Amino acid sequence: MRNIMRKSIVVLTAFVVLTGWVIRDNVFANPPADLYDQVWRLINTKFVDQTDNGQDWARWRHKYDDKIKTNADAYIAINTMIASLNDPYTRFLDPKEFADETSSIKGSLKGIGIQIGVKDGKLMVISPIEDTPAEKAGLKADDEILEIDGVSTKGITVDKAADKIRGKEGTNVTLLVKRANVEPKSYTITRAEIEIKSISQKVPTDIKVPDEFCYIRLSSFISRNAAQEFGDILTNSKDKKGYIIDLRSNPGGLLTNAIYISDMFLNGGTIVSTVDRDGYKETQRAANTAYTDKPVVILINKGSASASEIFSGAMKDNNRAVIIGEQSFGKGLVQEINKLPFDAGVNITIQKYLTPSGTDINKKGITPDIVVPLTEENVKNKDDVQLKKAIEILTKMTSGESVAKG
């Protein structure tokens, strides 16, 4: 297998909130007041919105000078300051939260196995992780979490919600969930150690994928080994006529994984562009060394977000794949993780990203070439109409037939 790690890791996609990450290490032995000031300075120079949500950011710098005596004081002041940005993805992480975030990147955590995000002020399920307590309990993408252990989630931040949902293995958490057109329902779920699996070739239903096709289920881009494992599958499937790549309920992961995997299918062309607060645009382009030129179908749904949208957007805009399913989540922001003193951290929104056609998909998502809804009745009957359509379309593509889109 060729060396897919030739590009430096620039952006990561957040596991909990599904946004992009760039890691910076700023470690100084500063007292609590300096911790607050360091966060202020980082946001002042990096936050994507130069107006800082239309406010005078300078007013915050010395607002708590005489009040910050301990780390706990600094944490409260920092969270208050950050809240003024009205950006759920710029967030401070205390040592426990930062450790949890680091753990999730490494591929394991203790919780129920759920991806969450704030959308239009509501705490939403982006997707449950495959084969976890959350999935087994019946939680689904686009569920709204109204309460956590009896406490309303109104106004809650993603990190605070994640902290409440996570916990010691074997303990329970109760979520009050509202699903579209259904009365709110309470779910009591037992926490477990969650192993974050990225790639599987196991078909999630009883539908038979023809032997001449290679089915790849990519549940997240978070594992540092995901691109390598994906490349190995392509290398070992050269006899296949085409590929079905299932990104449904994939909340994202390492953006570099999305770039590497896109590169495996593209001979040149743009993969993704990022734009910072100064309007500077940086474009990632594919090399002319694709693994395969065989037909590709990609499955997405409303739980497909961030890095999965970058990959599917790159494949769609380069006319390299047919996208099937439902409108994706719409996560087009990039966060930078800054490591702070006292083992804390702060994630700062520093960029937005664009698909190769220059489309900003934030809060909009990727529109499939062929829209195929998956109804509650389909799910109940284990009738995966989206996968069936993927097989139908790939069969046409590999037979040289034209495929009508739209």
Do 372 and 298 share a structural domain?
Answer: yes
pLDDT tens digit sequence for 116-157: 988 889 999 988 887 899 999 999 989 999 999 999 999 999
Domain CATH for 175: 2.30.42.10
Count of alpha carbons within 13 Å of 208, Cβ hemisphere only?
3
Residue 176 falls inside a structural domain: yes
Do 378 and 252 share a structural domain?
Answer: yes
C-alpha distances (whole Å) from 371 to each of 324, 378, 398 are 6, 15, 21
Residue 338 falls inside a structural domain: no
What residue numbers bound the domain in which 119 lies? Answer: 113-195
Do 209 and 185 share a structural domain?
Answer: no
pLDDT tens digit sequence for 213-226: 999 999 888 777 88
Q: Which of 161, 195, 229 is the last residue of a domain?
A: 195
User: Residue 23 forms beta bridges with which residues?
Assistant: 337
Residue 182 falls inside a structural domain: yes
User: Residue 66 forms beta bridges with which residues?
Assistant: none
User: Around Cβ 321, how many Cβ atoms within 10 Å?
Assistant: 21
Do 307 and 269 share a structural domain?
Answer: yes
Q: How confident is the model at residue 255 (pLDDT cuts 50, 70, 90)?
A: confident
Residue of 37, 87, 263, 317 with catalytic role:
317
Do 328 and 284 share a structural domain?
Answer: yes
Q: Which of 195, 227, 261 is the last residue of a domain?
A: 195
Angstrom distance (rounded) from CA 349 to CA 48: 6
pLDDT tens digit sequence for 177-211: 999 889 999 999 999 988 766 898 989 888 999 99
Q: How confident is the model at residue 104 (pLDDT cuts 50, 70, 90)?
A: low
- Amino acid sitting at position 14: A
Residue of 237, 306, 308, 328 with catalytic role:
306
Angstrom distance (rounded) from CA 398 to CA 393: 9
pLDDT tens digit sequence for 6-37: 322 233 333 333 334 444 555 444 489 999 99
C-alpha distances (whole Å) from 255 to each of 22, 176, 220, 306, 327 are 10, 32, 11, 8, 20
Asked about 331 being catalytic, the answer comes back as yes
pTM of the model: 0.71
Angstrom distance (rounded) from CA 367 to CA 313: 9
Do 211 and 182 share a structural domain?
Answer: no
Residue 406 falls inside a structural domain: no
Under 8 Å between Cβ of 253 and 307: yes
Domain CATH for 320: 3.90.226.10
Question: Smallest Cα–Cα separation from 162: which of 150, 145, 137, 140?
Answer: 145
Residue of 46, 331, 352, 389 with catalytic role:
331
Question: Smallest Cα–Cα separation from 267: which of 285, 288, 283, 284?
Answer: 288
Q: Looking at residue 25, what is its pLDDT?
A: 52
DSSP structure string for 67-131: T--SHHHHHHHHHHHHHTT--TTSEEE-HHHHHHHHHHHHTEEEE--EEEEEETTEEEEEEEPTT
Do 286 and 379 share a structural domain?
Answer: yes
Q: 3-state DSSP call for residue 30?
A: coil
Residue 218 falls inside a structural domain: yes
Under 8 Å between Cβ of 395 and 244: no
Residue 24 falls inside a structural domain: no
Name the percent of the chain lying above pLDDT 90.
Answer: 68
Asked about 273 being catalytic, the answer comes back as no
pLDDT tens digit sequence for 306-363: 899 999 999 999 999 999 999 999 989 888 889 998 999 999 999 999 999 999 999 9
Q: How confident is the model at residue 1 (pLDDT cuts 50, 70, 90)?
A: very low
Do 364 and 327 share a structural domain?
Answer: yes
Angstrom distance (rounded) from CA 104 to CA 127: 15
Q: Looking at residue 405, what is its pLDDT?
A: 81
pLDDT mean across residues, the chain: 88
Residue 34 falls inside a structural domain: no
Residue 98 falls inside a structural domain: no
Do 203 and 183 share a structural domain?
Answer: no
Q: Which of 172, 195, 218 is the last residue of a domain?
A: 195
Residue with tokens 């694709």: 290
Report the domain count for the chain: 2
Alpha carbon of residue 106 to chain centroid? 15
Do 185 and 236 share a structural domain?
Answer: no
Asked about 306 being catalytic, the answer comes back as yes
Do 266 and 372 share a structural domain?
Answer: yes
Do 318 and 205 share a structural domain?
Answer: yes
